Amino acid sequence: MKRILITGALGQIGSELTLKLREIYGADNVIATDIKKNDSEAAQSGPFEVLDVTDLNRMGEVAQKYKVDTVMHLAALLSATAEARPLFAWNLNMGGLLNALETAKEMKAQFFTPSSIGAFGPTTPKDDTPQDTIMRPTTMYGVNKVAGELLADYYFQKFGVDTRGLRFPGLISYVTPPGGGTTDYAVEIYYEAVKNGRYTSYIDKGTYMDMMYMPDALQAIVDLMEADSTKLIHRNSFNVSAMSFDPEEIAASIAKYIPGFKISYQVDPVRQKIAESWPNSIDSTAAKEEWGFKFDYDLDKMTMDMIEKLRPNMQMRIPG
């Protein structure tokens, strides 16, 4: 990777990935794009172009302007939001992906796009979900992700595009607020813990989902993209995860650092149904064997870092 185009650069992953890649490869070599510009560091610290990913011609113009050799396509509607607007989600998620793949093909560029545990469905094995298994999702987001994995495979096999991807679990970060995902409770809970000392969860107790702290997710992207292409078997859909927990376990972890923290429940039936269709835990063996995937943060280490980073920016109220 020498000159990198990022779509959705101001979103949950993109806002942090843009800065990490600029640190590694140089600010001028990472071109951030999104549907509109804001005053964030990702938008201001290097090249930025306004880009609607459904506009193929515009995407091609930006890629040609900067002579990019890598396309990282992050622009997408997330799970709960996509379920509320399924037609829009299909047009944005699949249309944008197809345009990004076409751009990579024309530029002879390396390509990355994330998949998700949302690609799995209720008939997928729940525990230690294998890398290769049945995938029959029951959400529009999940359908988009399965189709996206297959489309990326097609562009590699048919056109030789060096496509790569990760099946991310829920991603937890103190930098970017939640953006409409089913796993977002695991981000919101930290904000509310620091601010109010309590949290009302829309996901029910006993509901396990895979999670990962954002620093580990960003490093996984870099490691995959720098990996030896000849050693990659799965390419576009590596299972990756750092931990699996339910709301009670994350609440217990928080209570170690914020004594008196309380969790209650007001279950959202839509997001609960989505969560129940996903695995309890996934198997990351293929990622470890094919390109050396590893993670640094477990639940307690992540909790300590999240609280430490959030406290200076929020009014702390002692639980009572």
Beta bridge partners of 210: 244
Task: For residues 235 and 92, state if they share a domain.
Answer: yes
Please check whether residue 272 is in contact with residue 246, taking contact to mean a CB–CB distance below 8 angstroms. Answer: no
Task: For residues 52 and 146, state if they share a domain.
Answer: yes
Catalytic residue, candidates 66, 141, 155, 199: 141
Task: For residues 178 and 266, state if they share a domain.
Answer: yes
pLDDT at position 319 is 41
Residue 254 within any structural domain of the chain: yes
At 63, which helix (H) or strand (E)?
A: helix 56-66
Residue 318 within any structural domain of the chain: no
**C-alpha–C-alpha distance, residues 211 and 171, integer Å:** 6
State the residue range of the domain holding 223.
4-169+213-239
Q: Which residues of the chain carry a pLDDT beneath 50?
A: 316-320
Task: For residues 192 and 148, state if they share a domain.
Answer: no
pLDDT more than 70, % of the chain:
97
pLDDT at position 195 is 93
At 167, which helix (H) or strand (E)?
A: strand 166-168
pLDDT digit string, tens, across residues 145-180: 999 999 999 999 999 999 999 999 999 999 877 666
Please check whether residue 68 is in contact with residue 3, taking contact to mean a CB–CB distance below 8 angstroms. Answer: yes
- Domain count across the chain: 2
Check if 141 is active-site. Answer: yes
